[in-house]
Structure formats: structure tokens, C-alpha cells
């Protein structure tokens, strides 16, 4: 195709740090710029720039996503004490992902990228299992007490108007432990909407599970909110899209997941999502084959890779050594964002480009061309392990064959 694809509405591009920043540039130069007249609003979220702007750049990027609807983000350093020294920072700036998530009120969905020559640990999982984790409250915002003598434990709520509700948790006959947790209807509603919106966007069934037989009020509230929002806002849209919303108990869900072929979104409460996302990610192989998208209840999308900045590889790169860093999740962040832009703007060429580039990535790996992290997992093992740039070049070659 001779003519480059035009984009009517800009995409919010957020650059990042270390090895992923290096790959980000190569991916754009070799796989995107030759085919697309890229229309982006660029925000440099590299640590230096965040420090220079007192982190204002992160807030501006999040506001830009609200304005244009779609963003694509490179991995970024979340500074710790070591990074403060390494980069001579004014301050230990917070995680950009945390900042953006708070501004967009979003939920993160993680989706594995499947290839035939890397078998998931669970053989029946032939389609991706996407995990959506509620990232607010429950045990992650708890209060705990260790008690050392007998006594009465109570749950007390004092309303703003002064009314008191009091329940006995336990007459403690000896030493023990106590924990108080909470959640907010507003947060659960945002989570539910983000899940319904994402399931529609991916055209996959949505599963949600809690333990409402035991926590009749607490988990019952999650179940009721999901149900109400589904009935009132999404039932018809799901029917039209040919997808379903399925609620069950968490233990039943786990049993069904193990026997399923995948291909659905599994919405998880905070703790369930913490545990299950690591289980699902490791079963599918590699963090470098996992994409991550932040979806807000207002329908804004931010695409990124699930992995970090691959610091160890970056230091090798700085020493002038060749690295074998996998760029798949970064490429899929771009294709996810460009496809979403294409869908929203009715730009079929952009959708076709994105789908074709994803197919080219998968075909390249299935043809036995891959980086070291995948070579360790693939059957048969490839004859040669490609370095970071050779792998991107190989994808570029496959893409040229497929892009008609």
C-alpha cells in the first residue's frame, strides 16, 4: 500500500523509561511510521521529565485521555529510594499508573497473547482468559488489631447524622486477631461499568463471582450492583453483541475456569484478582505476552504492556551489549490503541492495519522467530534466538507479506 493511513483524531502517546523506551522508538520507526501518518498528542512520562515538571506531565496526559478517549503508554519507572538517587529526583514521585488510574477511575484488564508453539500450563485454555481486577478497598484498605486478652469485638458505624449501628463480632475468650474492611458503592459501580464496557469492546462473555453465600451483605452488595447495572444499562447491548453475563460463586468459578477453553472476561474482586491474575499470567507463559488496558466507566481506554521497563536489559544495552527483549506486549499496546481509535472514528484502514500487525507478530513467533524469553518456553525450541532489533525486523518482514 503506497499511501499512509491518516488519523482524524489524535491518540495520546505516553513515552516511558529504560529498555521499553528504546523499544518504543524502534517499534514506531520500523512498524508504524512507514504505514501511518501518526496523529498523536505526545507526553513524555520518562522519569526525568516527570521530575522536571513536578509530575504535572502525568496529570496532563490523563486529562488528554479524557479529552480524546484513547491513550497508549510505555512502561515507566515507579521511583523508590534507589531511583531517587540514580536520577537525582526532587522527590519520590508516585506511580504514573496509579495517578492515571485514579484520574480516570479506571479498571485494569490483562489479556494474554496466545501463540501455537507456546502451550499454556492448562491444556484446555486455547483462548485468552482476561482478568479484570477491582482495584479499590477490601483487605487492601483494612485496619487490623492483634488482641492479647479476652474481650468483646464489635463492628460500629457512626453515621454523619450521628446514628450508631453496632454489631458484636465475637466475644473473644482469648488472644486473637481482628480486621475491618470496607468498600464503596460508587467504586463497585465504576468497576461493574468498566467490566461491561470492556466485555462489549472485546465481544467476550463476562463472568463475575463472589462468596455471597457467606458474606450475604458484603459480597451480596457486589452481586446486586453488577446485576442492577447489567439489567438497566447493558442487557440489550449484550444481547445485540451475542455475549452473556454470568454470575456464580467464586469456588464454582475457579472449578469452571480450570475446565474451560478460555475466551471470556473474568471480573474479580480485589483479592481474587490479585491472586488469579498471577495464576493466569504464569499459566499462559510470559509477562512479555500480556497486554494491559485501563478502562474507565466513561469509556476511555489506555493501552500498555503488563511488564515493567526491563531494567536489567537496559543496563546491558547501555554497556553496548545486544539484548533479547520481547517487544510483543508493547506492539500490542499500539495495535490495541490504534484499533480502538479506528473503531471510534470509523477508520477501517486503521483497524485493518492493527489486526494485520497483530497477525504478523503471531505468525513470526509461530514460524520460529522469537526472543530469548519465548525461546525458553517454545516447542519446538527455535534454532536461533533473535535480539531485540532482529525480532522487530522479522515482524516487519512478515507484516509486509500479510499487508495487502
Binding residues for Mg ion, rule: CB under 5 A, are: 274, 278
278 binds, among Mg ion, ligand NAP, none (CB under 5 to 8 A by kind): Mg ion
**Start-to-end C-alpha separation, the chain:** 7
User: Which residue's beta carbon is nearest to the bound Mg ion?
Assistant: 274
326 binds, among Mg ion, ligand NAP, none (CB under 5 to 8 A by kind): ligand NAP
Stretch that binds ligand NAP, among 33-41, 170-178, 301-309, 395-403 (CB under 6 A): 301-309
DSSP state of 370: B
Query: What distance in Å separates the CA atoms of residue 104 and residue 339, rounded to the nearest whole number?
Result: 20
> Which of 53, 311, 355, 387 is the binder for ligand NAP (CB under 6 A)?
311
Query: What distance in Å separates the CA atoms of residue 275 and residue 272, rounded to the nearest whole number?
Result: 5
97 contacts ligand NAP (rule: CB under 6 A):
yes
Site for ligand NAP in 322-351 (CB under 6 A): 325-326
> Which of 30, 39, 63, 78 is the binder for ligand NAP (CB under 6 A)?
78
Burial of 14 (0-12, 13-18, 19+ CB in 10 A): buried
Residue 156's H or E segment, with its range, is: strand 151-158
70 binds, among Mg ion, ligand NAP, none (CB under 5 to 8 A by kind): none
Residue 40's H or E segment, with its range, is: strand 40-44
> Which of 64, 65, 77, 294 is the binder for ligand NAP (CB under 6 A)?
77
C-beta closer to ligand NAP: residue 117 or 248: 117
C-beta closer to ligand NAP: residue 189 or 393: 393
Cβ atoms of 118 and 311 within 8 Å: the answer is: no
The 3-state DSSP composition of the chain as helix, strand, coil percent (nearest 5) reads: 45, 20, 35
Least distance in angstroms from the C-beta of 142 to Mg ion = 16
C-beta closer to ligand NAP: residue 269 or 307: 307
Residues 361-390: x where in contact with ligand NAP by CB under 6 A, - otherwise, as a string: ------------x-----------------
- Cα angle 401, 403, 404 (rounded to 5 degrees) comes to 100
Residue in the structure block whose three cell numbers are 484446555: 124
- Scanning 230-347, the segments in alpha helix (DSSP H) are 235-241, 250-259, 270-284, 311-318, 328-345
> Which of 309, 335, 347, 354 is the binder for ligand NAP (CB under 6 A)?
309
310 contacts ligand NAP (rule: CB under 6 A):
yes
Q: Which residues bind ligand NAP (CB under 6 A)?
A: 75-78, 97, 287-288, 304, 307-312, 325-326, 373
Amino acid at each position: 500500500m503506497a499511501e499512509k493511513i491518516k488519523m482524524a483524531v489524535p491518540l495520546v502517546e505516553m513515552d516511558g523509561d529504560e529498555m521499553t523506551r528504546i523499544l518504543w522508538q524502534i517499534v514506531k520507526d520500523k512498524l508504524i511510521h512507514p504505514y501511518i501518518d501518526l496523529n498523536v498528542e505526545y507526553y513524555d512520562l520518562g522519569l526525568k521529565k516527570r521530575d522536571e515538571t513536578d509530575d504535572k506531565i502525568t496529570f496532563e496526559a490523563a486529562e488528554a485521555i479524557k479529552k480524546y478517549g484513547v491513550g497508549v503508554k510505555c512502561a515507566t519507572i515507579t521511583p523508590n529510594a534507589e531511583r531517587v538517587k540514580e536520577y537525582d529526583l526532587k522527590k519520590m514521585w508516585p506511580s504514573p499508573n496509579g495517578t492515571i488510574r485514579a484520574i480516570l477511575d479506571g479498571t485494569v484488564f490483562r489479556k494474554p497473547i496466545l501463540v501455537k508453539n507456546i502451550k499454556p500450563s492448562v491444556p484446555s485454555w486455547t483462548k485468552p482468559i482476561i482478568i479484570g481486577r477491582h482495584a479499590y478497598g477490601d483487605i487492601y484498605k483494612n485496619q487490623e488489631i492483634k488482641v492479647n486478652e479476652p474481650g468483646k469485638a464489635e463492628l460500629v458505624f457512626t453515621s454523619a447524622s450521628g446514628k450508631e449501628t453496632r454489631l458484636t463480632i465475637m466475644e473473644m475468650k482469648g488472644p486473637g486477631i481482628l480486621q475491618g474492611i470496607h468498600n464503596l458503592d460508587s467504586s463497585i459501580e465504576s468497576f461493574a461499568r468498566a467490566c461491561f464496557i470492556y466485555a462489549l469492546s472485546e465481544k467476550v462473555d463476562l463472568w463475575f463471582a463472589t462468596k455471597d453465600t457467606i458474606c450475604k451483605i458484603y459480597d451480596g452488595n457486589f452481586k446486586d450492583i453488577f446485576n442492577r447495572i447489567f439489567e438497566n444499562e447493558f442487557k440489550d447491548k449484550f444481547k445485540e453483541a451475542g455475549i452473556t453475563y454470568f454470575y456464580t460463586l467464586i469456588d464454582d468459578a475457579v472449578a469452571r475456569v480450570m475446565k474451560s477453553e478460555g475466551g471470556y472476561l473474568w471480573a474479580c474482586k480485589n483479592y481474587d484478582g490479585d491472586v488469579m491474575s498471577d495464576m493466569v499470567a504464569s499459566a499462559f507463559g510470559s509477562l512479555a505476552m500480556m497486554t494491559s488496558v485501563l478502562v474507565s466507566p466513561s469509556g476511555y481506554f489506555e493501552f500498555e504492556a503488563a511488564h515493567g521497563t526491563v531494567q536489567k536489559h537496559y543496563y546491558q544495552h547501555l554497556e553496548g551489549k545486544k539484548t533479547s527483549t520481547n517487544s510483543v506486549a508493547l506492539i500490542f499496546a499500539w495495535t490495541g490503541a490504534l484499533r480502538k481509535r479506528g473503531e471510534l472514528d470509523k477508520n477501517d484502514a486503521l483497524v485493518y492495519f492493527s489486526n494485520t500487525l497483530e497477525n504478523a507478530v503471531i505468525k513470526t513467533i509461530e514460524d520460529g522467530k522469537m526472543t530469548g524469553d519465548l525461546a525458553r518456553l517454545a516447542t519446538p525450541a527455535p534454532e536461533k534466538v533473535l535480539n531485540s532489533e532482529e525480532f522487530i525486523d522479522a515482524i516487519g518482514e512478515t507484516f509486509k507479506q500479510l499487508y495487502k
